[in-house]
Amino acid sequence: MPSKAEIRQQTIKALSAMAVVDRRRASDDLYQQLWALPAYQQATTIATTISGGFELATRPIIERAQADGKTVAVPQTLPKRQMAFHVMDETTTLARTKFGLMEPQDNRVIDPADFDLIIVPGLVFAASGERVGFGGGYYDRYLPKTTGTKVALALPAQQIAVPTWQVDSFDILLDAVLAANLK
């Protein structure tokens, strides 16, 4: 059984090597699946991330949700591996963290219980709802506080049928894993 660290390395390598045309096609497919999801259509408050590097681009998600009149919030990392999600709009001040990610520095914080939909980041997603994240445990600590629908968007290199890793008792299952189709 590969370790989570090995799985992370392999997946980052595969995502980084993905052809631009394939990434665009897979990303567009995932966006369309998300926007067709009843949980998205009914949501008024959505949590997502500001993507970086090899990750699925979240700017299209943020812009579409805002255009659809939804409140969008993005995370700020806090001490003790905690997060606060701040409303993302034209007044939000962003700053680069020590991890190289852009995070909000201000604006209203949304209570975890107020999210209708949480788009959960990660590196590998099993169709059955398990995930391998980036290793910080931030979402493992945050997700138990929420009641919103938890969804992941998986590019081809991130998709797996069942976990090939040790699933821990603190791992929170996702409600849905949207899988990109390149056909």
H or E element that contains 72: strand 71-78
Helix or strand (DSSP H, E) at 159: strand 159-160
φ/ψ (deg, to 5) at 154: -110, 120
Q: Are 82 and 53 in contact (CB under 8 A)?
A: no
Q: What is the pLDDT of residues 45-73, one digit of tens each?
A: 999 999 988 899 999 999 999 999 999 99
On the question of pLDDT at 155 being above 90, the answer is yes
pLDDT at 182 over 80: no
Indicate whether 99 pLDDT > 80: no
Angstrom distance (rounded) from CA 43 to CA 138: 23
Task: Note the pLDDT of residue 134.
Answer: 86
Provide the pLDDT confidence category of residue 183 given band limits of 50, 70 and 90: low
| Phi-psi category of residue 95: left, alpha or beta, with phi > 0 → left and psi -120 to 50 → alpha | beta
Rounded to whole angstroms, the Cα distance separating 37 from 17 reads 29
C-alpha to C-alpha distance for 8 and 17, rounded to whole angstroms: 14
Task: Return the HEC string of 81-132.
Answer: HEEEEEECCCCCCEEECCCCCEEECCCCEECHHHCCEEECCCCEEECCCCEE
- Give the C-alpha separation, 50 to 148, whole Å: 19
Coil, helix or strand for 162?
Answer: coil
Average pLDDT over residues 16-27: 92
What's residue 163's pLDDT? 86
